[in-house]
Structure 1
Amino acid sequence: MARRLLPVGPDFVETAPLRLVFAREVSAPPGAVYRALAEDVAGWPQWFSAVTSARPLDGGTRREVRLKGGTRFVETIVAAEPDEVYAYRVDETNAPGMRALLEEWRIVAVPGGSRVQWTFAADGAAPFRIGLKAARAGLGRAFRDAVGALERRLASTAA
């Protein structure tokens, strides 16, 4: 059953009751990383193994994402600054316990490539928050694996 979440804005990334932040450096330049995140939404399943499908909606202002296990999100893009930041909030999901969820991908140029930072900003019922804290290590591993796969994908398409 789909449930509506709170319509939080970009500032929720700083004010959320629960924030998980992960970062990794890659050899790809910021522009290539940004394009993979923001412009090639349908390509997400090729590098983020938890994602089974992703498609842009409403001319790219929204997205529908499905994860392994059957979780579904309908999201609104809340920040899209080329080569710098891509963020979206979840408007609707079938996952229990959430009140608000915003994900921000921040890209910073570093010597030899980019630093990619993913912030998972959330609010929800106590069991959801406890579960999310317990899942921190797994989410971190999923992020590192995904960004590593993205780096390999970008290197192979640049060759």
Structure 2
Amino acid sequence: MTRRLRPVELDFVEVAPVRLVFAAALEAPPRAVHRALAEDLTDWPRWFDAVSGVTPTRGGDGRDVTLRVGIAFEETVLADDPDTRYAYRVDRTNAPAVTALAEEWRILPGPTGGSRVRWTFAVDGPPAARAFMKLTKPGLRYSFRAAMRALDRRLADSATH
């Protein structure tokens, strides 16, 4: 059963009680990374192993996301700034205890080419949920790094074909 979360805006990624922030360097240019994050939504499962499906909704203003572990999200896109940022909040989910959730992907040019990607996972909930989310940081870090390596390989392969 899904339940509605507290609607948050883009500033939540900076002020949330729990903020998990991860960064990675990619060889792919910012435009290609942004396109993979914000435009090629149905390809997410091909490079982000935790994700089993992403479907754009509301003419691109929303997304339906399912994870391989069975968690589902109905999301609203908060920012889609070409080549620099993609962010969304969760409106409804079957995940327990979370009361607000937003994610932001920042894409910056790398110092010597390529891109620098920063993913912020911002969440609120009761104290036990906050503590649990902090405990998930190593797993989320691993998942993020693996996803960024897979995405970089995928973008390099598509650039050569």
TM-score (norm 1): 0.99
AA aligned to 2:4 is R
Partner of 1:7: 7
Partners of 2:65 and 2:127 in 1: CA distance: 25
Partner of 1:116: 117
Partners of 1:77 and 1:45 in 2: CA distance: 19
Partner of 2:80: 80
Aligned-residue offset at 1:128: 1.3
Tell me the SS of whatever aligns to 1:98.
coil
Aligned length: 159
Mapped pair 1:133 → 2:139:
no
Tell me the SS of whatever aligns to 1:143.
helix
Tell me the SS of whatever aligns to 2:99.
strand
Partner of 1:67: 67
Partners of 2:3 and 2:53 in 1: CA distance: 20
Aligned-residue offset at 1:19: 0.2
Partner of 2:25: 25
Tell me the SS of whatever aligns to 1:77.
strand
Partners of 1:14 and 1:130 in 2: CA distance: 18
Task: Flag as ranges the 4+ runs of structure 1 deviating above 6 A.
Answer: none
Partner of 1:105: 105
AA aligned to 1:126 is P
Partners of 1:126 and 1:69 in 2: CA distance: 23
Aligned-residue offset at 1:95: 0.5
Tell me the SS of whatever aligns to 1:108.
strand
Partners of 2:114 and 2:37 in 1: CA distance: 16
Partner of 2:36: 36
Partners of 1:59 and 1:153 in 2: CA distance: 26
**Is there any run of 5+ residues in structure 2 with no aligned partner, and where?**
none
Mapped pair 1:93 → 2:93:
yes
Aligned-residue offset at 1:112: 2.1
Partners of 1:67 and 1:125 in 2: CA distance: 23
Alignment identity in percent? 56
What's the CA shift string for 1:68-123, capped at 9, x where partnerless?
11100000000110000000000000000011000000000012200000000100
TM-score (norm 2): 0.97
